[in-house]
Amino acid sequence: MHLKSLTLKGFKSFASATTLKLEPGICAVVGPNGSGKSNVVDALAWVMGEQGAKTLRGGKMEDVIFAGTGDRKPLGRAEVTLTIDNSDGKLPIEYSEVSITRRMFRDGASEYEINGAKARLMDIQELLSDSGIGREMHVIVGQGRLSQILESRPEERRAFIEEAAGVLKHRRRKEKAQRKLVNMQANLDRLHDLTDELHKQLGPLARQAEAAQKASAVQATIRSTRVQLAAHKVKQLSEELNDSTRRSEMLAEQRAELQAELEEHSETLAVTEEELRTALEEAEAAKNLWYRLSAVQEKNSATLRIASDRAEQAQVAEWSGPDPQELLERAERAAEEQAELEENVEIAAEKLETIAEQVAEAEEAARAAEQEHFAQVRAIADRREGVVRLLAQHEAAATQRDNAAAEVERLQDNAAEQQETLDGLLEDITEAEEALRETEASGGDLEETRAQADREAAGAEERAEQLRAEQLQLERDIATAEATIAAWQDRLTPTDGAAVVVRAADKAGIATLRLAEQLHIHDGWGAAAAAVLGDAASSGIVAPLSDALISALIDAREGRAVLLDPSAPEGDASATFRLDTDVSAGKWLLDLMDVPADLLRPLTALLVDVVAVDSAAEARKVVAADPRLRAVTKDGSVYGAGWVASGSGGTTPVELADRIAAETEGVTKKKKELGDLQAALSGALDAASDLRTAAAAARAAEQEHRALRDAAAKRLGALQKQGDAAQRQLERSTAEQQSAEQRLAKATEELDELADRVARVDDEDHTTEPSSAERDAAALHLSQVKAMEMEARLAQRTAEERAQSTRGKAENLRRQARAEEAARKHHQQQQARRAAAREMATCVREQSQRIADRIADALATAEANRSQTEHAHKQWQTTMAQQRDKVSALTAQLGRMNDNAHTAELARTQAQVKIEQAVAGAMEQLGLTAEQLLAEELPEDFDAAATKAELKKAEKALNSLGKVNPLALEEFKALEERYNFLAQQLDDVERARNDLHEVIADVDATILQLFTEAWKDVEVAFPQVFSTLFPGGAGRLVLTDPDDMLTTGIEVEARPPGKKVKRLSLLSGGEKSLTALAMLVAIFKARPSPFYVMDEVEAALDDVNLRRLIALFEELRKDSQLIVITHQKPTMDVANVLYGVTMRGDGVTRVISQRMAPEKTA
């Protein structure tokens, strides 16, 4: 394995593409200081992955790009390609030749390639590390590196041996594993925190789950006892229902006579109302007619004013502006001037072209005169050298002419072959360009399609996430609302006296209902209703007025309760009774409540005197107007005659029931919204999935098209490069051919001249000096025609500038003329419209004046009619008021009669209501119908009191459990599953961490083995190399910590012959260089590398030490390739190939090579 070639393009001083063909053995790079020799070393280090700008002798990495000179512009990129001969297979790649390319651009972007394929820096470093070449670049010994080796720390010297032993890739693997360990530790800590937190939550949740399980068993017992009690109650009420169906037919005859009289007076009132309605319509019609005439009068007046104003304003104005015809004439003159100036420019150009031809002819004549004069001078000099020399020149010229003729013939054949090759490449380039155009055209808007697909997919996913968040929030709201409803329902359970009544009613088989659950209060009036209901709001029970219930309530002494009897007779007028008083300051509270029909009577009795008002002032006003009334505000303040009850006593069952109803309605709506939202989310997820698939397909199509386009562009670029190279080669060949032809012509001419001179040499007795008059005349003529050329150029430039200043002037004037013509036509049309508008306004003004007179007469007539109809309307109003008083008296009497009938009907339907209430309560609480309750078989020894006691005991046990989380069991199972899952994940992460520790241990063992073996070999080789460089001296390498081979450093001990020094700093410059070289060569021998680069390492050595170092070079080149940057001739003598590096005034480095003869390598 060896370096085969190095190609530099735009790297530092190598502005042009330069290739060094390297060969095995010693390759010496020579040249003057500053010519760019060390840039070759920098290029080798850079292409093999060097990342330090200071190592490359720069301030930043972009400094490697050619920065430009006075004659050449800076380049935009630097590129270096290193070709390695891998025929022995030392590199782990299946190629006999490996090409590594590194490319850098001005913007800092870098590219790496291996055999033309894109690669990473890591790929190149790993490829080279297997052959002993690492990122420390120990195989490249640059300027100042030798002193750096000795001055470095022991741990840094260790890195040279590790790199040669191939340890660095294992260290990178270890560092990668250690970074994974650090990242894994963060995840491990997070998992520990999560599992600890879940473990803390499991304990309380387990206790909640146990309580929920106990509560479930108690609730089953409660349901069983409630079912038995409900069945017992329904059967008792069914027996009572049969006794209460005969009580509702007693008052129908008494009501019929009163009803007939009321209907008679109502018919009379209806006739009066019809007459009043007719009078009202006539009055309204007269009033509306008067209003319409007044409005018409106002509109006509406005029309009259507007018409007068428009007639005065529509005046005709004259047009002022430039004349379009004058503008057109100016445009024509400008066009003529422009044409004349353009013609002057053409004349000046033709004159300049003629003078340029004269200049070319004058230059050719001057050159010919100069050559002729020179030929004459040279002929005289030749003649003076003698006849013998003339004859020798004649013979040499003949030989030169023959050689030139042969060269011309060879170059003509070569040019023909190259022209044929170039034609073929041009055809291939044309085909490649057409293929590239077709590929680009076929791409269309793939990029826009892909971008649009990505945007749509992102939008769909964002919409799905938004819907998912809304769904989660809605589910949380529903769960919160249902929990709130359940809590409020628990608070509605009867307590104190109400509970006593419920138990007593259940024992007696009487159906009961909670008053708070039967009412629906309009928005905002719940607190007011609770305040005026008093005990009925918190302890109101709907049940028949049974002495047994009242006695049980008194005997229990557990609190108060209010019983409301629903058994009012049908048609009882008292159910809808209102006090006969004015409540315009507020509303009856009963009108703000939705009450079941069977509760109208008791609630009317409780609240018939209550008026709902908005403020305290209105409340005091209502009470002052009628002391019988009570007034209540929204905040629950109750006002009476001489008293006020106010303040907050907490939330009452009435308010709770109202809140439960509102919250339940809200939950129903939210559940419907949740269903719609779930359907929308499903559709959004499907749409997002489809759009992601479409986006992926668009990206794939775009990538495929990009690959095809890049391949076509790459092929076109390669063909263009080949074509350019072929074109340049052809041009060089053509130039060489022309040069050869010129040499042939010149040789023939010289031969003829020499022959003539040989023939005339005997006849000429003396020579005369040639005249320079003809040459001076030609030079004078040349200077004159060049002056004429300069004047012609100035004249042409002046004409062009004048022509440029007038271009476009004519067209601008024409556009201005057209604009003025259009503006003048528009003004004329506008003046015509103004004249027509003035005539129209005058006509409208005259018509409006005539209409105003007629409207004034009609308005006077309408005023008289309005007064007459209003008087008739007032008379009918008086008559209707009298008849309404009569109907109201009869209605009040019939209302009282209806109240009595309703009382009787309420008594008849009381039993029916009780059983319906009992069945409704059973359906609401137990989900059982009347048929199911009647079919329920009770035990023969059923005791309602004992069963109620059992129920009370179970309820007490349930209450003792406190608030129970019904979802605790499911939450506990879910949390336990998550805890187990995280615990399993924790075990997996810990096992992975242990595996990484094992990997690090294995890597450490490998590093230890490789370093130890390499150290032993280097330790043995160093004294041998040192004794070669320092005959009679002694040197050795020592480990700083032999017990820790993984981190130990390396110290260098050196004692040149005749000296007893212990510190390396006391050595001379040459001794330091040789000691450092001894260490490097010992490493090279212990772990040979395919090649080494030495950059002026022998600069500080004398001839004796230089010969010793060259002897080591001779040993190294047996197994490795050496590239040596040198100024020393002995080093050049042992080289196989010499590379000469030069730099001309343009600041660009050039390289020439010379293969050395084999005998010079000895």
Tell me the residue type at 680: A
Contact present, 108 and 1059 (Cβ < 8 Å) = no
Phi-psi region of 844 (alpha: psi -120 to 50; beta: other; left: phi over 0): alpha
Contact present, 1106 and 1129 (Cβ < 8 Å) = no
* Residue 865 annotated in ligand binding: no
SS3 for 796-812 is HHHHHHHHHHHCCHHHH
Contact present, 899 and 574 (Cβ < 8 Å) = yes
Residue among 781, 768, 778 nearest 376 (CA): 768
For the chain, give me the number of helices (H) and strands (E)?
25, 24
DSSP state string for 695-712: HHHHHHHHHHHHHHHHHH
Tell me the residue type at 801: E
Say which residues have a Cβ less than 8 Å from residue 336's Cβ, sequence separation at least 6. none
Task: Give Cα separations from 785 to 358, 406, 415, 511 (angstroms).
Answer: 7, 42, 39, 135
612: β partners = 587, 632
CA distance 291 to 283: 12
SS3 state at 571 = coil
* Residue 37 annotated in ligand binding: yes
Q: What angle do CA 715, 718, 719 make, to 5 degrees?
A: 85
Contact present, 365 and 778 (Cβ < 8 Å) = yes
Phi-psi region of 975 (alpha: psi -120 to 50; beta: other; left: phi over 0): alpha
Structure tokens at 727: 């074109």
Sheet (strand 587-588) strand order = 587-588, 610-612, 630-632, 638-640, 643-645
| Structure-derived torsion over alpha carbons of residues 651, 653, 656, 661, reported in degrees to the nearest 10 | -160
Task: Give Cα separations from 421 to 35, 49, 722, 946, 1154 (angstroms).
Answer: 37, 39, 10, 120, 30
Q: How far is CA 673 from the centre of its chain?
A: 31
Say which residues have a Cβ less than 8 Å from residue 20's Cβ, sequence separation at least 6. 5, 6, 7, 40, 1139, 1151, 1153
DSSP state string for 574-593: GGG---SS--TTSEEGGGGE
CA atoms within 13 A on the CB side of 807: 7
Burial of 475 (0-12, 13-18, 19+ CB in 10 A): middle
* Residue 36 annotated in ligand binding: yes
Structure tokens at 742: 């010129």
29: β partners = 1125, 1139
* Residue 544 annotated in ligand binding: no
Q: What are phi and psi of 630, to 5 degrees?
A: -115, 140
Residue among 879, 902, 897 nearest 261 (CA): 897
* Residue 33 annotated in ligand binding: yes
Contact present, 552 and 945 (Cβ < 8 Å) = no
* Residue 86 annotated in ligand binding: no
* Residue 242 annotated in ligand binding: no
* Residue 115 annotated in ligand binding: no
> Taken in order 651, 655, 661, 665, is the CA torsion positive or negative?
negative
Q: What are phi and psi of 782, to 5 degrees?
A: -65, -45
CA distance 380 to 819: 85
Q: How far is CA 631 from the centre of its chain?
A: 64
Map tokens 């994940």 to a residue. 985
Burial of 124 (0-12, 13-18, 19+ CB in 10 A): buried
Annotated binding site for ATP: 32-39
Annotated binding site: 32-39
